[in-house]
Structure 1
Amino acid sequence: MIELAGLTKRYGEKLAVNNLTFTVRPGMVTGFLGPNGAGKSTTMRMVLGLDRPTAGDVRIDGIHYDQLKDPLKYIGALLDAKAVHGGRSAYNHLLCLAQSNGIPRSRVREVLDTVGLTAVARKKAKGFSMGMGQRLGIAAALLGDPRILMFDEPVNGLDPEGIHWIRNLMKSLAAQGRTVFVSSHLMSEMALTADHLVVIGQGRLLADTTMADFIQQNSRSYVRLRSPQREQLLDALSRAGISAVEVGNGALEVDGGKPELLGELAARNGIVLHELSPQQASLEAAFMRLTAEAVEYHAHAETVGGTTPSPPEQQPEWGATWQQRKGH
Structure 2
Amino acid sequence: MIELEGLTKRYGDKLAVDGLTFTVRPGTVTGFLGPNGAGKSTTMRMILGLDHPTSGDVRIDGRHYDRLRDPLTAIGALLDAKAVHGGRSARNHLLCLAQSNGIPDGRVEEVLDTVGLTSVARKKAKGFSLGMSQRLGIAGALLGDPRILMFDEPVNGLDPEGIHWIRSLMQSLAAQGRTVFVSSHLMSEMALTAEHLVVIGQGRLLADTSMADFIEQNSRSYVRVRSPQREQLLDVLHGAGITVVEAGGGLLEIDGGKAEHIGELAARHHVVLHELSPRQSSLEEAFMRLTAESVEYHAHADPAEREWAAGWKTEV
TM-score by length of 1: 0.93
2:71 corresponds to which letter in structure 1? P
**Aligned-residue offset at 1:62:** 0.6
CA drift of 1:303 comes to 3.5
Name the structure 1 match of 2:170: 170
User: Which one-letter code corresponds to 1:151 in the other structure?
Assistant: F
C-alpha separation in 1, matches of 2:207 and 2:309 = 29
Structure 1 unpaired stretches of 5+? 316-328
Q: Does 1:65 align with 2:65?
A: yes
Does the 8 Å contact 1:27/1:175 carry over to 2?
Answer: yes
The CA deviation at 1:242 is 1.1
The residue that corresponds to 1:295 in the other structure is 295
SS in 1 for 2:249: helix
1:211 and 2:241 correspond: no
Provide the residue aligned with 1:185 in structure 2.
185
Do structure 1's residue 150 and structure 2's residue 150 form an aligned pair?
Answer: yes
CA deviation after TM superposition for structure 1 residue 269, in Å: 1.1
Map 1:259-298 → 2, pairs under 5 A: 259-298=259-298
CA shift digits 1:264-302 (9 cap, x unpaired): 111111111100001111111111111111011111112
The superposition leaves residues 107-140 of structure 1 with CA deviations (integer Å, 9 ceiling, x where unpaired) of 0000000000000111111111111000000000
Contact 1:197–1:211 at 8 Å: present in 2 too? Answer: yes
The question of 1:20 aligning with 2:9 is answered: no
- The 8 Å contact of residues 29 and 194 in structure 1, kept in 2 or not, is answered as yes
* 1:228 paired residue number: 228
Instruction: Determine the structure 2 residue equivalent to 1:309.
Output: 307
Quote the Cα distance in structure 2 between the aligned partners of 1:130 and 1:249: 45
* TM-score, length basis structure 2: 0.96
The alpha-carbon deviation at position 3 of structure 1 amounts to 0.4
Name 2:79's counterpart in structure 1. 79
Q: CA deviation at 1:91?
A: 0.4
Structure 1 residues 294 and 228: alpha-carbon distance in aligned structure 2, compared to 1, 3 A threshold: same
Partner of 2:245: 245
Alpha-carbon distance, 1:32 to partner: 0.4
Task: Kindly state the Cα deviation for residue 308 of structure 1 after the two structures are TM-superposed.
Answer: 5.2
Q: Take 1:284 and 1:198, find their aligned partners in 2: how far apart are those partners?
A: 14
Deviation of residue 231 (structure 1)?
1.6
CA distance in 2, matches of 1:123, 1:86: 10
Q: Distance in 1 between matches of 2:120 and 2:229?
A: 65
Shift of 1:311: 6.8
Structure 1 residue 229: deviation in Å? 1.2
Number of the residue aligned with 1:141? 141
Q: Deviations over 1:138-184 (max 9, x none)?
A: 00000000010000000111111111110111111111111000000
- Separation in structure 1 between the aligned mates of residue 78 and residue 109 of structure 2, nearest angstrom: 19
Q: Percent identity?
A: 82
Distance 2:104 2:273 in 1: 65
SS of 1:4's equivalent in the other structure is: strand
Local SS of the residue matching 1:6 = strand
In structure 2, the residue matched to 1:97 is 97
Instruction: Verify: 1:48 aligned to 2:31, yes or no.
Output: no
Structure 2 gap segments, 5+ residues each: none
In structure 2, relative to structure 1, the CA distance for the partners of 1:310 and 1:55 (3 Å cut) is farther
- SS of equivalent residue, structure 1 residue 96: helix
Q: Which residue number corresponds to residue 127 of structure 2? A: 127
How big is the shift at 1:312? 5.7
Match of 2:202 in 1: 202
Q: CA RMSD in A?
A: 1.4
> Does 2:2 align with 1:2?
yes
State the distance in 1 between where 2:245 and 2:282 align.
21
Q: What residue in structure 1 maps to residue 159 of structure 2?
A: 159
1:309 Cα offset (Å): 3.1
- Residues 25 and 298 of structure 1: CA distance in aligned 2, closer, same or farther (over 3 Å): same
- Classify the secondary structure of the residue corresponding to 2:213: helix
Name the CA distance, whole Å, in 2 between partners of 1:312 and 1:122: 55
CA offset digits 1:224-263 (Å, max 9, x no partner):
1111111221111122211112221111111000111111
The letter of the residue matching 2:120 is V
Q: What SS does structure 2 have at the residue aligned with 1:309?
A: helix
What residue is the counterpart of 1:321 in the other structure?
Answer: none
Q: What is the number of residues matched between the two proteins?
A: 312
Shift of 1:310: 7.0
Cα separation, 1, equivalents of 2:154 and 2:16:
22
How far apart are the structure 2 equivalents of 1:147 and 1:31? 17
Q: Which amino acid aligns with 1:261?
A: H
